A and B are shown apart, each in its own frame.
Chain A
């Protein structure tokens, strides 16, 4: 499985945008880029996913580099509730298998 690399931790101020990077230089053409986050003492929750084009939903935006070797999860206005560990995960198209979690990025949000 192709690996992803994320910074261990990031800090943000409340109500400011946050850009969470992810490198996946060995991504294959059939790998989708998924993002999940895990709030303290909870199970992970789905955030967003994409293949080639940038994606937006009510939670976040996903910007995917043209060569697909990196991506950035964008939280447009961080809130205290966004403090969590964010996981960038590659998943083969059509896969119904388990997710493979790396260490993720621990995001702290300061008031």
Chain B
């Protein structure tokens, strides 16, 4: 079945560091990918929609200059958390749809746990 690979699985770094997270669709092309964030004991919240070849669309309250998204190919989207601080510590998850048919399921990466010291 369709697989979305996310890398790295976890990151621990110092405050002020920039961190890049990759999301790849392994056996299908994805013109759109989604980035979510999940804090402990909470549900997933959409951060932004990544569009291949164009600018990402950010949800209200998400700083586009802090969370840089690049979707340069049909199989890769990256999320860079710039100058990360402890409050950015969270579980980041990407997803993509594998087809254009009616209600194709979304496929999710296994997430990246980001811990900022």
A49 touches B43 (CB 8 A): no
Set of chain A residues within 8 Å of B109, measured between Cβ atoms: 43
Shortest Cβ-Cβ A-B pairs, 9 listed? A43-B108, A46-B105, A101-B44, A101-B43, A98-B34, A43-B93, A43-B111, A32-B103, A44-B108
Q: Is the CB of A104 within 8 A of B43?
A: yes
Q: Which residues of B contact A94 (CB under 8 A)?
A: 102-103
- Chain A positions within 8 Å of B75 at CB level: none
A99: interface (CB < 8 Å):
yes
| Number of CB contacts from chain A to chain B under 8 A | 61
B106 and A99 contact, CB distance less than 8 A: yes
A residues less than 8 Å from B106 (CB atoms): 36, 44, 46, 98-99
How many B residues touch the partner, as a band? 20 to 34
What distance in Å separates the Cβ of B56 from its nearest Cβ neighbour in chain A? Answer: 12
- A 30-46 binary contact with B (CB < 8 Å = 1; else 0): 00101010100111111
Q: How far is the CA of A34 from the CA of B103 in the complex (A)?
A: 9
Asked if B89 is at the interface of the complex by the 8 Å CB criterion, the answer is no
Closest to A44 in B: B108
